[in-house]
Structure 1
Amino acid sequence: MTEQLRRKLSDLPVVRWTALLIVAFTMMMGYYITYQMSPLESLLESPVASGGMNWTSTEYGFFSGSYGFINVFLLMLFFGGLILDKMGVRFTGILACTLMVAGVLMMYYAVTFITPDAATHVNLPLLGLPDMMLKRQVIYSALGFAVFGVGNEMCGITVSKVMVKWFTGHEMALAMGIQVGLARLGTGAAMSVSLPLALRHSLSAPLLLSFVLISAALLFYIVYCVMDRRLEKSAPATVQQGTDDDESFRFSDILVTIKSPGFWLVTLLCLLFYSAMNPFFNFAPKLMIVKYGISESLAGLIPAIIPFGSIVLTPLFGTIYDRRGFGATLIIIGTLLMAVVHFVFSLPLHSSLLAVSMMVILGLAFSLVPSALWPSVPKIIPLRRLGTAYGMIFFIQNIGLMAVRMLIGRVNETDPSYTRSMTIFALFGAAAFISALLLYATDKRKKYGLQKPNIQE
């Protein structure tokens, strides 16, 4: 659509907020599944006689890192961005949701029907597994998680472009904040629900629930596709004919994107920030048990403070960005808080009250950065290149997520006190803070407008 038509349709609040809620529900289910296994680490590593699967810390780290295997080694996120810009949000979103359903089914099959006693020799030095035996159950679970990861990340870039499509010139940061907040609701629900469900029934029960939820997400996205198609058909033919020159993707746009210093700073910031946050969720429940003496039944609830708090705070900070600006400033504050919290977690302090307090502050950081970071990308990259830009950002981000998860799994096996692993997270936080300062300086020089409000009067 041309800018004129998009503004005409997006001026209807019911249309743009309905579109947002539908696609946000899809992402919420994706985030639920991403973190559903995090509270189960201790149970997975328990003996089979105790209801566990006898996994090792290395195997759990391998499984957690497998989320990004296909995205990284087969460049699927990069190609996903190209598919999005060439085929549009309807085709790409349906493809993404279908892959998520398939991945969950593979994980359910592995945990339910493959015995944890069977093992296979592997030699994967690139994945930190040189010449060792690995459980087949872990391998198949990792394959399913990798397929799911392709779909979930592809869905993420698609939803981002949907929101830019409908909220440019309007409450974009608020819209993205609400979407992020609902995604964090999925994360918090997984941290709170998965372990009690597994303890009451079996380890396969959380995965069965995930299959039901992600199937519902697919149906919701189909509803959005019907709405999106009807909106396009309602456009005058003369307006529709003018879309190609304005917004069609050209492969030469890739070169323009990678020449942008703002693009690379945002990409670096995403890599560092999410490498310090998302893998932390995978290991945080066990950290609460080992270092702070939290009971296993409550260990997932303490880290859940972070996503549940962001449900309210992310839209709040997004509204500030929409109406007052200061996007780069919000990012700087958030990265600084994150670095401080991870540093405190690395210290030999064992107070459960301290742990809860740090989680609250970390939740503040987890709301500040995304509320300003993602709405800033369209200020740097125009719409026709946005899918490819998001794909490249998510691709590089997935390299970090994969590598850090596997690294932390191996580090925890040699240092179960979590001192070394939390020091690693603190270093990522410090580097993210420095990147945020560089982004602020670059914005002043290039005049991207990151400090200006998003709402155009």
Structure 2
Amino acid sequence: MTETIHKTLADNKAARWGALVLLALAMFCSYIFMDILSPIKDLMLSECGWDSTAFGTMQGSEVFLNVFVFFLIFAGIILDKMGVRFTAILSGAVMLVGAVIKWYAVTPAFQGSGLETWFTENLNYIPVFDELGVSPFYEGMPASAKFAACGFMIFGCGVEMAGITVSRGIVKWFKGREMALAMGSEMALARLGVATCMIFSPFFAKLGGNISVSRSVAFGVVLLMIALIMFIVYFFMDRKLDS
């Protein structure tokens, strides 16, 4: 009896590692944005009028919706129902929306706007979460920090969704092959983004001798646009794999 062997795109070593590079580079870009303000905290304090409490609260807001509103669980449901391709693009879009909000919050255009007035007067007390000490806002928190926290929470939903989607994508392409190596390589490249932002964030903030923290965040926004493009390219590769 002759056994027929069906080969898929994943059997092509170059194709599956190419898919991994797309996913890993998307996560690399997202990890850069995640810590984009950390190297320039001193500039945030002097240029935006934040203090250490405001900065720390804003940075911690990234996990708020995932942990306390259980968004990561919903992300898993979306991934199971809609598949890797849809969820990859959705996560990329959500990250980009959150990043744009965070960028606008630290631009001069936000100062004196109606949004600044609204955030100054509102979100000063969140029942239950304030009592637990886990609220992403507090009374007296600068309006720009509150708005940036909103953007960072949305970004956090997207980046965590992207994380589980990438893991699912790696399993799909590398099952029965170099799966552990692929996962380790993806994580190594993604984590390299944290180190990279330590170099480029201060560089863009001080570029040309004119200090601008929004310029560093804008750099991160551009990277997330690239990440979304990576996910779109992956979409077509993955569709070809299924066909």
User: What is the TM-score of this pair, normalised by structure 1?
Assistant: 0.47
CA distance in structure 2 between the partners assigned to 1:163 and 1:191 by the alignment: 28
Residues 66 and 157, structure 2, Cα contact 8 Å, conserved in 1? yes
Query: Residue 100 in 1 paired to residue 100 in 2?
Result: no
* CA shift for structure 1 position 151: 0.6
CA RMSD of aligned residues (A): 2.3
- In the other structure, the counterpart of 1:215 is 225
- In the other structure, the counterpart of 2:66 is 71
Q: What pairs with 1:49-448 in structure 2 (closer than 5 Å)?
A: 52-112=47-107, 113-115=109-111, 119-120=120-121, 122-124=124-126, 125=130, 126=132, 127=134, 132-200=139-207, 201=210, 202-233=212-243
* CA shift for structure 1 position 229: 0.9
- In the other structure, the counterpart of 2:43 is 43
Corresponding letter in the other structure for 2:198: M
Residues 84 and 169, structure 2, Cα contact 8 Å, conserved in 1? yes
Higher mean C-alpha displacement, 196-205 vs 12-21: 196-205
Residues 103 and 147, structure 1, Cα contact 8 Å, conserved in 2? yes
* CA shift for structure 1 position 128: 5.1
Q: Kindly, what percent of the aligned residue pairs are identical?
A: 40
Corresponding letter in the other structure for 1:115: Q
- In the other structure, the counterpart of 2:29 is 29
CA distance in structure 2 between the partners assigned to 1:5 and 1:87 by the alignment: 29
Larger radius of gyration: 1
CA distance in structure 1 between the partners assigned to 2:217 and 2:153 by the alignment: 15
Gaps of 5+ in 2: none
Report runs of 4+ in structure 1 exceeding 3 Å deviation: 4-9, 116-121, 128-131
Corresponding letter in the other structure for 1:63: M
CA distance in structure 2 between the partners assigned to 1:106 and 1:215 by the alignment: 14
**Structure 1 SS opposite 2:206:** helix
CA distance in structure 2 between the partners assigned to 1:34 and 1:166 by the alignment: 27
Residues 128, 6 of structure 1: alpha-carbon distance in 2 compared, 3 angstrom cutoff? farther
* CA shift for structure 1 position 6: 9.4
Residues 49 and 142, structure 2, Cα contact 8 Å, conserved in 1? no
CA distance in structure 2 between the partners assigned to 1:35 and 1:56 by the alignment: 17
The structure, 1 or 2, with the larger RCO (C-alpha pairs under 8 Å, 6+ apart) is: 2
Residues 15, 133 of structure 1: alpha-carbon distance in 2 compared, 3 angstrom cutoff? same
Residues 130, 53 of structure 1: alpha-carbon distance in 2 compared, 3 angstrom cutoff? closer
Residues 131, 91 of structure 1: alpha-carbon distance in 2 compared, 3 angstrom cutoff? closer
Residues 145, 6 of structure 1: alpha-carbon distance in 2 compared, 3 angstrom cutoff? farther
Residues 6 and 166, structure 1, Cα contact 8 Å, conserved in 2? no
1:395-424 per-residue CA deviation (whole Å, 9 max, x = no partner) reads xxxxxxxxxxxxxxxxxxxxxxxxxxxxxx
**Structure 1 SS opposite 2:141:** strand
Residues 88 and 165, structure 2, Cα contact 8 Å, conserved in 1? yes
CA distance in structure 1 between the partners assigned to 2:196 and 2:25 by the alignment: 13
CA distance in structure 2 between the partners assigned to 1:188 and 1:85 by the alignment: 32
